């Protein structure tokens, strides 16, 4: 049971490489998906070794993810990669520049044998955005963001890297930073959804939701909302993988960690991102495994999720073309 649950988690290994305890957990629990940060890209040889170790320990193919948006959110930077400009500044130069920018980012991701870039940011926000979003977006005009988002996605797919648009259903207009507290919106507008709708038309393979309470959708954050996932699937027609934002964020501080994983499962999210301590995440998953083992309803829900992810994963992996780690 624990291996089934662990196969849906996206976790962060220690840096520069996992220690003995983490290596045993990754191997024994069958953890397949990982997200990497700036601390994992400090020195070339160590970074190559990290990727090799993760691929070897996990045994089965999985996703290696990174936030390589450009600007202040780029995990692969000097001396291993150039400093990229802020997406908002690039967006002002138009679609052709966004396409080149997207390809440059994707090539950097691919160079390090990673398969998923957690970008683009499709929230509607411009110069006056709150600090946690400022410079990371493609603008505040929904039609323009929709157009540029499609171009960005196209550039990544052409380079063989899977883009993951975020943060559904859009954080435009909120002031609270979900890294610290739970933001709220009375409703989500058609304008908020438009960039994501356009992204789906372009063949977007993954979408990341956000920790946002939308009052018209109920009392749960989008991260734990079956209604939000249903809107993604049925209204937007999205058939790819739905990923939570980081379950370690302050917006979810009222929930115990095993409960966060459980509610993500029940909401219909395919993959659960947790960027905190890896052994801590594994302990929470083991606690959840005991609960799932004792519940027929939860076992059925887990089986449904695993089957759905297997179908979608096999359909997406054929698009990935990345460089193998250097021996």
Q: Answer whether 82's CB lies under 8 Å from 130's CB.
A: no
DSSP state of 293: H
Helices (H) and strands (E) in the chain, counts: 11, 12
> What span, in angstroms and rounded, lies between the C-alpha atoms of 203 and 212?
25
> Which pLDDT tens digits describe the chain residue by residue (327 residues)?
999 999 999 999 998 889 999 999 999 999 999 999 999 999 999 999 999 999 999 887 899 999 999 999 999 999 999 999 999 999 999 999 999 999 999 999 999 999 999 999 999 999 889 999 999 999 999 999 999 999 999 999 999 999 999 999 999 999 999 999 999 999 999 999 999 999 999 999 999 999 999 999 999 999 999 999 999 999 999 999 999 999 999 999 999 999 999 999 999 999 999 999 999 999 999 999 999 999 999 999 999 999 989 888 776 754 554 444 443
Decide: helix, strand or coil at residue 233.
helix
Pull the structure tokens for residue 66.
């990174």
Pull the structure tokens for residue 51.
């990727």
Q: Is 123 a catalytic residue?
A: no
Closest among 234, 106, 218 to 164, alpha carbons compared: 106
Q: Which is catalytic among the residues 67, 123, 192, 245? A: 245
Q: What is the pLDDT of residue 317?
A: 57
Closest among 13, 285, 96, 45 to 104, alpha carbons compared: 96
Pull the structure tokens for residue 149.
């988002």
Q: Answer whether 29's CB lies under 8 Å from 6's CB.
A: yes
Strands 116-117 and 272-274: unpaired
Q: Which residues contact 51 (CB under 8 A, 6 or more apart)?
A: 64, 112, 113, 114, 325
Q: Answer whether 90's CB lies under 8 Å from 70's CB.
A: yes
Task: Please say whether the dihedral angle defined by the alpha carbons of residues 237, 243, 245 and 247, taken in this order, is positive or negative.
Answer: positive
Length of the chain: 327
Q: Answer whether 171's CB lies under 8 Å from 212's CB.
A: yes
Q: What CATH number was assigned to the domain covering residues 2-317? A: 3.20.20.300
Q: Is 179 a catalytic residue?
A: yes
Pull the structure tokens for residue 142.
């929904």
CA angle 91, 96, 97 (to 5 degrees): 50
Pull the structure tokens for residue 166.
């975020």
> What span, in angstroms and rounded, lies between the C-alpha atoms of 269 and 93?
35
**Residue 189: Cβ within 10 Å count:** 14
Could you write out the DSSP letters of every residue in 245-270? --TTSGGGTTS-HHHHHHHHHHHT-S
Q: Answer whether 133's CB lies under 8 Å from 125's CB.
A: yes
């Amino acid at each position: 049971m624990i291996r089934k649950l662990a196969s849906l988690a996206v976790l962060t290994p220690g840096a520069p490489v996992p220690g003995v305890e983490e290596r045993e957990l990754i191997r024994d629990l069958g953890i397949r998906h990982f997200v990497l940060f700036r601390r994992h890209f400090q020195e070339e040889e160590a970074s190559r070794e990290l990727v090799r170790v993760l691929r070897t320990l996990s045994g089965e193919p999985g996703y290696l993810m990174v936030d390589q948006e450009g600007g202040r959110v780029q995990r692969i930077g000097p001396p291993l990669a150039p400093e990229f400009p802020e997406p908002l500044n690039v967006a002002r130069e138009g679609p052709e520049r966004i396409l080149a920018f997207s390809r440059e980012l994707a090539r950097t991701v691919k160079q390090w044998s990673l398969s998923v870039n957690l970008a683009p940011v499709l929230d509607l926000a411009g110069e006056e955005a709150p600090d946690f979003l400022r410079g990371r977006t493609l603008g505040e005009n929904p039609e323009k963001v929709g157009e540029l988002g499609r171009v960005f996605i196209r550039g990544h797919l052409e380079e063989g890297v899977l883009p993951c648009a975020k943060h559904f259903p859009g954080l435009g207009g909120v002031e609270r930073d979900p890294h610290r507290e739970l933001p709220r919106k009375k409703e989500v507008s058609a304008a908020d959804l438009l960039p994501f709708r356009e992204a789906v038309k372009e063949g977007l393979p993954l979408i990341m939701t956000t920790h946002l309470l939308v009052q018209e959708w109920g009392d749960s954050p989008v991260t734990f909302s079956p209604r939000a996932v249903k809107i993604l699937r049925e209204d937007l027609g999205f058939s790819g993988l739905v990923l939570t934002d980081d379950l370690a964020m302050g917006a979810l501080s009222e929930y115990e960690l095993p409960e966060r994983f459980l509610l993500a499962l029940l909401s219909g999210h395919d993959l659960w991102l947790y960027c905190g301590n890896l052994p801590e995440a594994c302990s929470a998953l083991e606690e959840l495994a005991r609960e799932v083992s004792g519940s027929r309803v939860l076992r059925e829900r887990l089986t449904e999720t695993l089957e759905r992810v297997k179908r979608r994963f096999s359909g997406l992996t054929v698009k990935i073309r990345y460089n193998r780690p250097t021996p």
